[in-house]
Amino acid sequence: MDLQSTYNKIAHDWVKDHHADSWWVAGTDAFLSFLPPHASILDVGCGAGEKSKYLASKGYKVTGIDFSEEMISIAKEYVPDASFLVQDIAQPLEFKESFDGVFAQAVLLHIPKKEVVAIINNITKPLIPGGYFYAAVKEIKLGRPEEDILKENDYGYEYERFFSYFTLDEMKQYMQECDMAVVYDNVSTSGKTNWIQIVARKQI
């Protein structure tokens, strides 16, 4: 099953499972601290809109995109004061407007490493010069592969997802290759996972 179909399948169970997550708050607040009030934010891979809701509650204008139709359907009901579109980040993004910030939480971890730079360039294309990009990925564990396909059955049925795992230095290198300057980084722990959060400024 491809990743899009997987997320369509697990959407409602995934939302319930991750509703109480809080590891992302400090990094997200750091990202927001660089943006002006009422800034426009593109929430890439927004899922069911949990983080879109948080961003909107802070007064930001939020547009969320995800390739899972089921996730977008949930997001539209959950966050009526944001805009949501079904879009695949592997395809060129067509936006007439630009954004002050691009937010990509737990998105690049589903991208093969050889494609990460191209994907970052694609999703930050609508970002204004001097705008800010946030990314969160899983840190690689000692002795574990850099890329893996995990078969899971957390919700009473089987499904599988592709993952890439990173180091902070790798993420900083990706930002440099995409002509962005790192202004914040953090590694936080949630359960057995270390999450790398990074904020970078798009060069003018």
Query: What digits encode the pLDDT tens for the residues 26-38?
Result: 999 999 999 999 9
At 1 the pLDDT is: 63
Q: Which pLDDT band holds residue 19 (cuts at 50, 70, 90)?
A: confident
Q: Lowest mean pLDDT: which of 11-15, 48-52, 86-90, 127-131?
A: 11-15
Give start and end residues of each alpha helix (H) in 62-179: 69-78, 116-123, 168-177
Closest CA relative to residue 27, chosen from 104, 140, 127? 104
Arithmetic mean of pLDDT over the chain: 95
Q: What is the rounded average pLDDT of the residues 39-54?
A: 97
Per-residue pLDDT of 64-102, as tens digits, reads: 999 999 999 999 999 999 999 999 999 999 899 999 999
Per-residue pLDDT of 47-68, as tens digits, reads: 999 999 999 999 999 999 999 9
Q: How far, in Å, are 109, 140, 146 from residue 44 at the CA level? A: 13, 22, 23
Task: Please check the confidence at residue 204 and state whether its pLDDT lies above 90.
Answer: no
CA 64 from centre of chain: 10
Q: What is the rounded average pLDDT of the residues 118-139?
A: 98
Q: How many alpha carbons lie under 13 Å from residue 106 in its C-beta half-sphere?
A: 15
At 127 the pLDDT is: 98
Q: Phi and psi of 129, rounded to 5°? A: -60, 130
At 73 the pLDDT is: 97
Q: What is the rounded average pLDDT of the residues 106-117?
A: 97
In sign, the C-alpha dihedral spanning 108, 173, 32, 63 is negative
| 31, containing H or E segment | helix 25-33
At 40 the pLDDT is: 98
Q: What is the rounded average pLDDT of the residues 180-202?
A: 96
What percentage of the chain exceeds 70 in pLDDT?
Answer: 100
Token pair, residue 33, equals 């601290």
